[in-house]
Each structure stands twice: as C-alpha cells, then as structure tokens.
Structure 1
Amino acid sequence: MPISSFDFPVLTDTRPEDVSIPSFMVSTTRGFLPRQEPLVRLPQEFEAVESLLQRMPIKTLSGEPGLLAKFTFGETLEKELPDLSDEVEKYRHDLVVMNALYRDYSFLASAYLFEPCHQRFLRDEPYGLGRQKLPRNIALPIVKIAEIAGFKPFMEYAGSYALFNYRLEDPTQGLEYSNLRLIRAFEHGLDPSSSEAGFVLVHIAMVKESGPLIKGTVDMLEACIAKDREILNDGLRTVVTGLKSVNAVMNTMWNRSKPQSYTHFRTFIFGITSQSMFPNGVIYEGVSEEPMSFRGESGANDSMIPLMDNLLQIRMPETPLTEILQDFRQYRPGNHREFLEAVNAAANACEVKDFVLQDPISAALYLQAMNEALSDFADYVQKQQALRRPPGQPTTAAAEEHDELSILDELGLSDDTTPSVPLKTLLLDPAEENIDKLAEYIQGRLEEGHGEALFDLGLEDSGESMAFSKEDWTAALQRVSDVSEKVKADFKVLMTRNVGAENELEVGPRDAKDTGCSGKLILRRRPESVDDVIETRIAVVGNVDAGKSTMLGVLVKGGLDDGRGKARVNLFRHKHEIESGRTSSVGMEIMGFDSKGEVVVSSVAGRKLTWEEIGRKSAKVIGFTDLAGHEKYLRTTVFGLLSSEPNYCLLMVAANNGLIGMSKEHLGIALALNVPVMVVITKIDICPPQILEQTITQLTKILKSPGARKIPIFISNREQCVNTATQFVSRRICPIFQVSNVTGHNLDLVRTFLNILPHHGDYKKESALEFHVNDTFSVPFVGTVVSGVVKSGIIHTGDTILVGPDSLGQFTTTKVRSIERKRISVPACSAGQSASLALRNVRRKDVRKGMVVLHKNDPATGAELTPKVFREFVAEVLILSHATTIKTKYQAMLHVGPVSQTCAIIDIDRNYIRTGDRAQVAFRFVQRPEYLTVGDRILFREGRTKGLGIVKAVGYDPKKPLNPEAAKESEGKQGGGG
C-alpha cells in the first residue's frame, strides 16, 4: 500500500539533558549511540555495586589480581551485596541512571554465573556447568531495572557491554578513539591498551559513524515516496560514505584487540540459551521458580547491518542460522527495533529496490552500498574465523555452539592498509617521510589486489572529498607518478571529475561538496618476469551464431570485423570451422594489457601478435576459452567450462536472436558453478530497435528470475563501466554491454572493463600440488606435453611428479622437463595459473584429459606420497530437469573438473528423485577410478544438463547405505528368491 511520507521520529537534537526519555533514541547526529555520554558512576545508594565492580576484573587498573582472578567473586558478592530493589525504585523516572544500573547489574550477573566456567577454561578443561541460580540480590534488581529500561534481564550489546560502556578521558575532545575509555570490564579492559578495551571501543567507534546511515536512509525513503531521483542518489551517496567509514574502523579491530586474547574474556559474554553450561536455563531467585534463558552479548545485536538489510531490501535465506540471527536481533533497544521495523515497512511500501534499479547511476550506487554492507563485511568475517579459537582449546558443546554463531559478530582480522597520516597529507606534503609512507600504502594496496589496485585520487578512503583544486590535482598526480616509479608500477587515469581531462565524467557534480577535482586511477605493478603477469581466465559461451569468435577476434587483433566473419578466421583450429563459421572445439585466445593499462596490440595494422609477444609485453593477460555454441558440441562446451576453471564467464547473445537454444543452458551451467557472469549483446548494428528491446526484456527477466537472482546493469558510459567492474566479484550483479563488432560501438567499454576486472578466485599456494590436465599433446623434439590449471600448490621445472590415474588407478612417476605459460618458458607456476608441462619419458597415449599431476614427495618433509583414487563417491545433488524419476542404476555423463566419464547411481537417500529435489546420491564411475577431493563440484547430464552437486565423501561403504529401509527391502527380496 503506497505511503505519503516516512514519519518515524528521528532525532536531530538528541536532548542530552532530558532524563525522562530512553538513553537510546535514533538520531542523525549520534546514530545508534546513546543520546548522551553514559553515566560513569552510580548514585551513592549503589556504592556496594560500585565497589564489587571495581574489584571484579581479572586484573584491576592498579595491576593487582581482581576477584575473578582469585575465583572469589561469587562468594564475595553473596556476602557483601544487599538487595537494592527499593533503591532502584527511587530512580524509576531517571532513565539515564536506569540504563547505568542495567549495565552494572548485567556485569555482576554474567561474572557470577560464568566464574566457574572461566576457572575450568584456564585449566584447559571443558567449561562444565555454570552457576544454575542467580541470587536474589542480583535477580530482583536486574529484572526490575530491565523492565523499566526496556531490555532483557541479561547482558546486551547496546544497553550494557558495549554502547553504554564508555567514558571520555577529556570531555572536550569528543568521541575520538584515543579519547575513549571503558567503564566496566571483565579482563583488564580498564587499561585502554588491553584487548577487551580494543574489542569494545572499536565497536563504539564504528557506531559513532552510523549517523550518515540514518540520515541517508531517511532521505532515500522520502525520495522514493516523492519519486525524486536526485535526492535518492544523494541519499545513496550518504549511505555509501557512512558504510565506508564504518568499515574503515572495523578494519582496525585486531590491531587493537589481539585474537589470542579474545578467549580470555569471551567466557563472560556467552548467553544462557542453547549452552551446555546451562542445560535448563538459569533460575532467577525470588522472580520465578522456572528457569529463564537469554542470548549472550553479540555484535549481531547491532543495528547498522539490519538497517541496510531493510533499506536495500536484502532478503536472507530461511535457514536455522537465520532463525538464530533473527532471535539475536530482538536484543536491542526498543526505539532501535521500532525504527528498523518502520524502515522495513516503508522500503517495502515504496519498493525502494525496484525504483533504484530503474536508473543506471542509482543502480551503481546501490551496488556500492550492497558491497560495503554485505560483501566486504562477509569477506572480512571469513578472514578471521580460524583465529577465533586458539590451538588446544577444548571443543566443548558450549564452545561449538558459540562458534556457530560467531559468524554473526563484527569481529575481524584485516591487514589495515589505511595510512596513519591523512591521505591528503601524503599526496601533497613535500616531506620525504610522507613520500615513503605513500609508497608503503600503495605497495600494500598492490599486494592486496595481487599486483593491481584501483585508487581514488582526490577522495579519502571513507569516500569524503579532499576538495582538490586543479593545482592540487596536478601535484597529487605527479606524487602518485613519482611513488609508482618507486614501487615499480605504472598507472592510468580511468576517469576524472571537475578536472577537464580527456576522460572527464559525463555526469557533473551533484552538490556543493562535490566541486573538488578527483579521479579514479588503476595502478599496476610492472612484472619482472612472466611469472609475475596477472592472469584472468574467461569462458566465452553463447548460442551458435551469437558472434563469440568474431568478438574475440576483434578484441585480440584490435581491428573491426567486415560483417562477413573476417575477424574470426584466425581463431579457428579446423578447416570445417572456417568453412561453416562455427566453432566445434575448445579454442584458446589471449589478450594483454601492459602496466599502463593499454591493450597490447601490434603496431602493424591487422597483424595479430603471437602469444609469446603478448605475454612478454603484458602485465595482465586475459585468457579466453572460446566454447562451441551448437547443441551437438555440448559435451565439449561443458568440458571446457569445467576444465579451464574460469574466473569469469562471458555470455554472448545476438541482438536479433535473443537468449535462445544453448544460451540458457550455458548460463545455467555458469550459475551452477558460481562463476560471475557478464553479458555482451552483439550485432546491434543490424538489429531493429523493437527486436533489440525484446531481447533486452527477455534477458532482464531471465537474469532476475529465482534461478539466477542477478541484478542486470546495462553499461553505457565509462563511469558505469568502472564502478561495475569494481563491484563485479560480488557475483550478484551482471553487467550487460551492447556492442557492434562492425562499427566498434561500446567496444572501448568492454576493453576498459576487462582491463580493470579484479582478481577473483581462492587459490592456495601453500597447499599440496594439484594440477588438473585438460589437454595433451605430442610436440616434436620435446615429447609429451600436458596442459591444465594448477588448482593448488606450486610446481617447478625438474620436480619429480606423479601423473594419473590410469585405467587401473595407478600413477606414473616422471619429471617435469620444462614449463610454459602462454607459450613462454618459466621456471615454475603456482595455484591459479594455467600452464603446459613437458614430461620426461612418458608417451602421449599414457596420458589423457582428466588426469592429475601431484608431487611424488611432500616438499616440506620429503615423505613419499601415495595418492588415493576412487571409483565410488557420495555427492549432494540438485536435479535441474528430468522428464521422469531417477532411481538407482540410472546412468549419465558426469563432469567434475577436467574429468568426463559415464557414472551410474548406486544409492540414493530416498526411493527416487525428481526435478527440483535435493538428495544425497552415491555414484560409481563405469570405466575407471578417478582422483577426487571433497568439495569438488560435479555436473551430470544425459543430453542436456540434468543435475549438479558437490562431492561430500570419497568412497562408499555399502554397509552404510544412504537409504537403509530400501536396502533392507532389497536384501529381503534377494533372500526370498534364494
């Protein structure tokens, strides 16, 4: 139902002197922080509480061991603390005092309940049981306080442990991090350099930046209601700037709080719900004889990410973990909850997402916001999960439960590449030390980007403008040039704003704050050798006659097509391909960019450079796998898609034909493999406008469908191109180009996009070698050569290796004679790189596609390795399409990496499966055993694609059937027939 306005009472004046309203009220100035600085010391009536809390920490501020270190806190509390419920009543109408009482009593409650668990933890024992009863002298006051203040009667993130638990060392200096101190702590957090202090204070510093999120949210909702695009985009920019500021602070977490110290205070912030320490909950004496349960303190209680979920209409999947997350989100101040609910209702009513995605600039800003709110945060969380539990910690039920939820916390470990000196100073100040610091900063950015980095000149890392004049811009650009030389890199200016340069943005400044000169640069390291060249693999797919080979011919050669296929001829490998104009094999082409971001092409018009010439002149190489579009070559295409392990997929669609035939099949396979997809609509020069419009409508509908869930972004200018390329690895977005290979329309945007495509893929150089063979050759005077991709590890010339398995499951021992990448000899290749290996004393007939190359000996220990192969394995599969039911004994062609072999289903966890079903299925290779690892993606088909899945277990034990009931019936029938 449409709404006329967003009228939630968001404060602009926080009224810090008013004690009659709750401490937590959403505002555009303090965001989700309390309206006023928290009350530090309780009224005189609560001196007993104050005294206990001062003596409680494991190490007090004086350095002496506290009550928790002596394990005497519980007995001291029982003796010294009176029931102060009547004193609480006196302050019922002072909600600031009430919030301070809530904070302090929740610290007492957690310390009392978890003290025995902490004692066992220090002895490297399981946590065991906590105290099962909360005594009356805590239980009665905390229940009354929580009811008045609007919290649960247990420790919460906002009301007690974090956001109401700081003081200012110097009230005149405000909320700068260096000016923050804790009020209460379990460890020795009153020391501002302690890990617990860093852990809490970083959260406070993050939430300090939430004001722009709230202002941008309100502006966006009001703009959507009024259908005002300009205000909407300004609101989105405010949100993006706020998120960047929040994430910049979040990235400092483990610089200020050591991972190994986290477990020293974590015990005290557990909850009661679903914890083995409290199997039945906790009895609050004098309140109820029935046990009570509450969640523990967690960053999942914070309101910033849920605000973005609601505003941007990001829907979470329905999973058990999501249910827990939603439960966690109830533990926040009432005003915060109501605000989030109001935003959610308004965003749904005015359909924020649909309105945003109708405009390319709004869509690009929306994607930036999503990337900051979700992708960066998720990547950030993943980086540090392994560090959350130190080696040797007992894996008690409680610890396991909390670790399952720990992905919800905003804890993190990240190499902080933000310079300690403001970036503007590094760019303009002539001091030599600033030049060195800028060089260190750029070096860190290049390392982070695997040899390249996008750099916003004229903008701070938070997105704020540096307000450069043209003279400042020129000086800063010269500084970047000097520093790039120092770190052996080059750069290219991709686009500018208010500079008046060649690549000036078509869209002018939106407001007065945007008058400064700025621009986006790409920096790329100069490779010292071919080993250092950045490699990106792109699989090119699409229906027959979509223009795949022609497009590659134009990109690689640098010229244009004549409309009759001249550009594609050099790409074909067989005579019948040239005659028919149709690819039947897996073709390979490469395109190079030098360190200055220029395409590497021949200076002679129409001449195509050799692979060796491109490789030697390039700093970044795009490897295209040109796959067949005709249905009869589907097996070849599927093999090419899986065996080349592409980083990205380029789907070609002819404007005059639309998404027909095998195009949908290819798109489905790419989505199944979780490969980011970009689309190029070709032949727009010969397509009538109404047909092109039909094609775009059809393509958009398919990409937005539940099976794809992509956000299509049509690229028509340089700003959209650059912004979309930087966000592309999120996988949700799908950039779409409309090009002509005859007129050259938009080909420059495609080249720019390919030039700045970021590194994508998780490759483990430190792991054992695993090289997948996807082709074999016999080269005169060299011998047998195998090509493929290094999935993990590193291989050197001269290494002793194992190649296999053969038909009997055996491996052959040989040595690597030489290695080539892009037809250039190299001494080694590592995970993520494609290469060709010349093998010593191996005949070509003894190697095949689908084999693997492994080290014969462990490089670290020298111990001989004995690889295992499997004829049977278990996978979790999803049936995409099948006319009837699938039962045991069903056979299909199965693809897993470079392996293509017929497989039979030998067991299913139910009697049969149909289209749309997910199931555990046991497969058996029909011809020979293969080398498999858990986690490998599989795809099986009989004609067109039937299903996909992930290997869950290698080997299969018939004594442990997936469907025990069916196995018993089968045994009964066999017994009866005997």
Structure 2
Amino acid sequence: MDFMITQFSPEESLPIYNHARNNRLLSDGDDIVNYNVNDFLPPENDNGNIEYKAKLINPSPSRLQHLITQMKWRLREGQGEAIYEIGVEDGGTLVGLTDTELKASILTLRKMASDINATVAILSEREVAGKNSDVVRKVAEVLVRKVPDNQQFIELRLAILGSADAGKSTLCGVLTQGVFDNGQGKARLNLFRYLHEFRSGKTSSICLDIVGFSSDGQLVNYKHNTLEEIVDRSTKIITLIDLAGDSKYLKTTIYGVSSLFPHYCALIVNARVGPTLITKEHLGLAIALNIPIFIIVTKIDNASSTQVEKVLKCVECLISRMGTNRVPKRVKIKEDAVTYGSSLTSSEIVPIFSVSNVTGENFDLLMCFLNVLPPATSGISKLKQKQLSCNRPLFSVEEIFRVPKVGLVLCGILTQGVMSEGDAVQIGPDSSGAFHLGKIDSIRRNKQPVMVIRPGEAASVAVSFVSPTNVNSLRRGIVIMSAKEIGVSCKRFVARFYLLYHPATEICIGFQGTVYLGTLCRTATIVEFDPPSIQPCVWVNVVFEFYRTPEFVLVGTPLIFRMGQTKGMGEVISVTEELTAKLSDS
C-alpha cells in the first residue's frame, strides 16, 4: 500500500538539519551510560526561554540578584515557563557536575525561583563522563514555571486530528480520566455528546475537555478532581479539542480548527492502518493555517513491531513530502520530549510519538512533552503582544447560548485588546449587517468567574443589550467590539489565494464554495481575480463575495476555501465595498 501520494503539494526531498541532542536519558533501573564531554547541545540563544548554566554554586548577593533578573527575562520570553540546562556551557558543551555540585546548583535555582514566587520541577537527569576519566558527572534539565500576574493559569488549546478509528477520542478519554482503555473503546465514552456517537463509536461534533499540570509537572485530571479543582490546582491547563475523523464530517473539522484557534495540532495515526487520505487532509489543514504539529501513532499494542516501524517510516516520509521545511523526529526518551516540546514553536521539527491507550506504553513521554509545550503566545514577539493588548478589544464568537436567568451567553476567543466585566460594547453584524449596543455582564473561563480576559484567551461572556434586540438575527461568526469603534460589515473582501487542488485545470469567475475565516463559515462566490483564470499552485489576488449577508472580516485572517474536491488557502489582504453598519440603537 502506498500512503505517500498527497494532493496538497508536489513531492520533493528536503535537506534535513539534525540539531537533536545526542545523549540518552537515564531512567530508574537503567545501566549507567558514559558520554563524552564533547557531546553538545545547540549554542545558547540570548532570546527564548532556554538558559544554559555550567554551575550555580554559592553566588554572591550581587550575582544572585543578576541571576534572578535573568530568570525573570527567560520567564517573560516563555510567557511563564523557562527551561534551565544545568551543567551545560553557553556553547552547548555538556561538562556535567558532580552530585554535590548539582545539588548545590539546584538549591541555588530554587532560591532564585522562590524570590519571584516561581516553582521548580526537575525534568530529567543524565550522566556524562569525561574522556579517559572515571568521574561520573551529571547534567540536569529543570522547568521553572510562574503564572504571569495578570493570568489565572497558563492556557493552551490542542486540536486532536486524524482519521476515524485512529483513537482520537480514546486518547482524550485516557488523558482526562486518568484510566487506560479496556481495548473496546470504554475511555472514549466520556467525550461523546450525541446518541449516534455512542452507537457508532465515531465523533461527529466538536468535543472539548481539559487536563491540567500542577506546578511540579504532575498531570491533574478528573480521576481525583472535579473541574473546579482541576482549574484551581493547575498552573497550566490544556484544552483538548476532539474533532471528527470521518470524511463526511470534514466541514465540521475544518470549522473547529479554524474557529477555535488551537495553538497546536496533534495528528493521530492508527498503527494498524497507517496514514490515510483523511490523515493527509488534516495534516494539510494544519499546515495551511500555520499551526505547529506533532504526530501520535496509537494502538501499538495491537500491531507487530514490524508494522509499527513501517507506519512510522510512512509518517516520516509523508511529513518530508509536504513541501515544507518540517523535519520528522521520533520521540524515544524523555530528553527528546523535553527538547522537541520546548522548541516546537521556534523550530520546524515534527515530533512523532508511538503510544498505547491500553497498556500506557510511552505515555510518560507524551505527558512530559505536554508539560513543557510553550505557552500560547511564546511564538509572538513582545512588540506584537503589546500591540495586541493595546488594540481595541475584538472577541470572535464561536457559540451562542440562551441561558435561563442569565440571558444571552457568547462563547469564543478574544483575538486582540483587553475586555473587562462592565465594558460597553457593540455586537454584530446581524443578518442585516447592523451592530447592537450592549454591555458585558459577566465573564467566565473554564466555568470560573473572571473580571478580565486578554488576547488569545477563550471565555464565555454574558451580555445584555441597551434596547430590545432580536437575538435570533445573531449567529456564529459575529464579533464583540468596543462601543467606541465603528461597526463595519462587508459583502466583499480581497484575499491572496493559493489553489491547492481542483478537478479541472482552472477556476473561472462565478465559482462558489465554502470559505472559512476564523469563526466564519459562509458560502462565498469568486467574483474577480488578477489573471484570466485561477490555476492550481499559483498565488493570485481573488475577490470573494458573501452569498447572503454582509460579515465582519479582519485583514490578515487566514482563509480556507473548499467545494467538493476543490481546496485552497490564503489570507485576507483588504476589505472592499465596506458598509458602515448603523447601530440599531442609535
């Protein structure tokens, strides 16, 4: 069976730069393995959240203060998380420390962290030895975590992609419930929302649940905690977005990835089947939206070692042939998990795990990886973060609920600005393109009340209107803006567009399909473009027109366009024929 044919991009071989670490983690029960002092890591980067320290022994007060200032910088770079490599020189050479030196260095690190109310967790220790020397020295990898003062916890959103029967819901069930599967799909039952999902065993909707990590890196889930306790006891919370794998629910999956703004995508592959057409569809979707990816090969307990190896090679070949610079890397030890996890947003590596939801094999590697995944905004520059916070608030609505005794509740993500309880806002556009004045009554995150939300945070917002409003005219895809802004909706917009695949040789004016723009999922028509026609694998400027009602479109939003086998991607570059929406309350 040939898994390697993909419609997303031409197949090509890419040069691979291997900057993975050369050493092996020693776990309990392992024999001691000696490494040469010439083994090394990549040189230390002045930016980012990874710091190398040859030793930290009895620093002077002035030196200690300098080290604390340096730790604050690394924590800011990592949005609350920093990785310290103890026993490593700035150039990356593993010099190692004796047991006494390592213990003293860790003690100094704890003093530094305690001074700024941060926590320290030792991720791994490994032994190195000098050439022609019997003295065993150690190198330690340490996670320092401090929840920013303006946040309740560090938050990540992880989309779970893959074909049907790959084990996506089962994996989510094992993570959230803390109990391994019985081999018959028992773990997935906690994720299903509809009766037909229980009957078929297939997810057809978007299912959300959370797991947390405590300050010492321990997994916090529903095994011994309620939802409120998970939120209260966790310094990092990961929202798992379980998406459908059946091809007939592909529109739902695309909408979920586009509208929920996941920070990472986990692509699940069945070890008995290997990559399928849906696997390639989902992989292409994540790449089109520029979302960091990692691969999890499941059901290795139900496949021979030869079959697992064959599937792993197929996955590696598929990633290498997607027309990008992404490099597949297998995760075999905890050191790999820490290395690839901490640098996932800043490198082109695609980590590959092989796990069993039944026996729990390699689950410790996956837990270590999730624990060190960089926070949501670590890949955004400080200037960009500041700009997002200083902008007027813009809240993208993904779900609308009418709650008894509460009123209208809008669920979504704040893409820019800061929104507080009591703020005067405008909500729209409705089906006529108008915005409605209102007020933020309350805000909740993971069912916990908060006063303020910031860029990238998901929340549920209860709103009320200044004057009577027909809430039936509001639908998914609307936005909440500051009342001081001018509400603008548009019928047409221009996008820089790249046609990935089309059954015919070209697309002409009048072609109609579904366009995904963040929380928007609307029918749109191609009404104009630069060349005489749109051909696959060529960038063009295309004017799209919404089929029914005007919508709010933000310049710079990634775009997915689909109709049957036709698929393309792009980015909004301008909005045309703007209609300044009159406030219905004015």
The two structures have a TM-score, normalised by structure 2, of: 0.86
- Please say if 1:717 is aligned against 2:344: no
- Please say if 1:847 is aligned against 2:465: no
- The structure with the greater share of residues assigned to strand is 2
For residue 491 of structure 1, the aligned residue among 82, 107, 120 is 120
- Please say if 1:519 is aligned against 2:137: no
- The structure with the greater share of residues assigned to helix is 1
Residue 970 of structure 1 is matched in structure 2 by none
1:778-857, aligned counterparts within 5 Å? 778-841=402-465, 844-857=471-484
Q: Is the Cα contact below 8 Å between 1:356 and 1:366 reproduced in 2?
A: no
RMSD of the TM alignment (CA)?
2.9
- Please say if 1:679 is aligned against 2:295: yes
Residue 768 of structure 1 is matched in structure 2 by 392
Distance in 1 of aligned mates of 2:209 and 2:258: 17
Deviation of residue 698 (structure 1)?
1.8
Q: Deviations over 1:83-138 (max 9, x none)?
A: xxxxxxxxxxxxxxxxxxxxxxxxxxxxxxxxxxxxxxxxxxxxxxxxxxxxxxxx
Residue 578 of structure 1 is matched in structure 2 by 198
What amino acid is aligned across from residue 574 of structure 1 in structure 2?
Answer: Y
SS of the aligned residue for 2:210 comes to: strand
Deviation of residue 850 (structure 1)?
0.6
Distance in 2 of aligned mates of 1:417 and 1:752: 16
Residue 71 of structure 2 is matched in structure 1 by 442
Q: Deviations over 1:399-422 (max 9, x none)?
A: xxxxxxxxxxxxxxx79999xxx9
Q: Is the Cα contact below 8 Å between 1:777 and 1:844 reproduced in 2?
A: no
Deviation of residue 652 (structure 1)?
0.5
Residue 475 of structure 1 is matched in structure 2 by 104
Q: Is the Cα contact below 8 Å between 1:541 and 1:650 reproduced in 2?
A: yes
| Greater Cα offset, 884-893 or 765-774 | 765-774
Q: Deviations over 1:169-215 (max 9, x none)?
A: xxxxxxxxxxxxxxxxxxxxxxxxxxxxxxxxxxxxxxxxxxxxxxx
What amino acid is aligned across from residue 436 of structure 1 in structure 2?
Answer: Q
- Please say if 1:588 is aligned against 2:217: no
Distance in 2 of aligned mates of 1:430 and 1:718: 30
Give unmatched runs, 5+ long, in structure 2. Answer: 1-12, 26-37, 579-586
Deviation of residue 436 (structure 1)?
3.0
- Please say if 1:912 is aligned against 2:533: yes
Q: Is the Cα contact below 8 Å between 2:202 and 2:244 reproduced in 1?
A: yes
SS of the aligned residue for 1:433 comes to: helix
Q: Is the Cα contact below 8 Å between 2:53 and 2:84 reproduced in 1?
A: no
- Please say if 1:924 is aligned against 2:548: no
Distance in 1 of aligned mates of 2:235 and 2:470: 35
- Please say if 1:617 is aligned against 2:241: no
- Please say if 1:728 is aligned against 2:349: no
SS of the aligned residue for 2:344 comes to: helix
Distance in 2 of aligned mates of 1:548 and 1:706: 23
Mark the CA change 1:416 to 1:847 in structure 2 (over 3 Å): closer, same or farther. Answer: closer
Q: Deviations over 1:341-371 (max 9, x none)?
A: xxxxxxxxxx9966959x98499999965x9
What amino acid is aligned across from residue 881 of structure 1 in structure 2?
Answer: Y
Distance in 2 of aligned mates of 1:677 and 1:415: 20
Distance in 1 of aligned mates of 2:318 and 2:494: 32
Q: Is the Cα contact below 8 Å between 1:360 and 1:713 reproduced in 2?
A: no
Residue 10 of structure 1 is matched in structure 2 by none
- Please say if 1:662 is aligned against 2:278: yes
Residue 494 of structure 2 is matched in structure 1 by 874
Distance in 1 of aligned mates of 2:318 and 2:23: 22
- Please say if 1:545 is aligned against 2:161: no
Q: Is the Cα contact below 8 Å between 1:879 and 1:917 reproduced in 2?
A: yes
Q: Is the Cα contact below 8 Å between 2:48 and 2:78 reproduced in 1?
A: no
Deviation of residue 542 (structure 1)?
0.5
1:199-598, aligned counterparts within 5 Å? 361=22, 369=42, 427-429=56-58, 431-464=60-93, 467-498=96-127, 508-509=128-129, 511=131, 516-525=137-146, 531-598=151-218
Residue 937 of structure 1 is matched in structure 2 by 558
Residue 28 of structure 2 is matched in structure 1 by none
How many residue pairs get matched? 541
| Greater Cα offset, 776-785 or 830-839 | 776-785
What amino acid is aligned across from residue 446 of structure 2 in structure 1?
Answer: K
What amino acid is aligned across from residue 256 of structure 2 in structure 1?
Answer: G
Residue 157 of structure 1 is matched in structure 2 by none
Deviation of residue 645 (structure 1)?
0.7
Distance in 2 of aligned mates of 1:839 and 1:901: 25
Q: Is the Cα contact below 8 Å between 2:557 and 2:571 reproduced in 1?
A: yes
What amino acid is aligned across from residue 99 of structure 2 in structure 1?
Answer: K
Q: Is the Cα contact below 8 Å between 1:922 and 1:956 reproduced in 2?
A: no
Mark the CA change 1:571 to 1:628 in structure 2 (over 3 Å): closer, same or farther. Answer: same
Distance in 2 of aligned mates of 1:931 and 1:352: 40
Higher relative contact order (CA 8 A, sep 6+): 2
Q: Deviations over 1:518-544 (max 9, x none)?
A: 201001115768x33111111111101
Residue 294 of structure 1 is matched in structure 2 by none
Deviation of residue 460 (structure 1)?
3.8
Residue 567 of structure 2 is matched in structure 1 by 946
Residue 756 of structure 1 is matched in structure 2 by 372
Q: Deviations over 1:36-57 (max 9, x none)?
A: xxxxxxxxxxxxxxxxxxxxxx
Distance in 2 of aligned mates of 1:356 and 1:576: 46
1:877-892, aligned counterparts within 5 Å? 877-884=497-504, 885-892=506-513
Mark the CA change 1:524 to 1:355 in structure 2 (over 3 Å): closer, same or farther. Answer: closer
SS of the aligned residue for 1:553 comes to: helix
Distance in 1 of aligned mates of 2:48 and 2:213: 28
Q: Is the Cα contact below 8 Å between 2:271 and 2:311 reproduced in 1?
A: yes
Distance in 2 of aligned mates of 1:804 and 1:352: 46
Distance in 1 of aligned mates of 2:68 and 2:152: 20
SS of the aligned residue for 1:850 comes to: coil
Give unmatched runs, 5+ long, in structure 1. Answer: 1-350, 381-413, 499-507, 858-864, 958-978
Distance in 2 of aligned mates of 1:559 and 1:770: 40
Mark the CA change 1:943 to 1:599 in structure 2 (over 3 Å): closer, same or farther. Answer: same
Q: Is the Cα contact below 8 Å between 1:675 and 1:731 reproduced in 2?
A: no
Q: Is the Cα contact below 8 Å between 1:894 and 1:938 reproduced in 2?
A: yes
1:107-186, aligned counterparts within 5 Å? none
Identity of aligned residues (%): 33
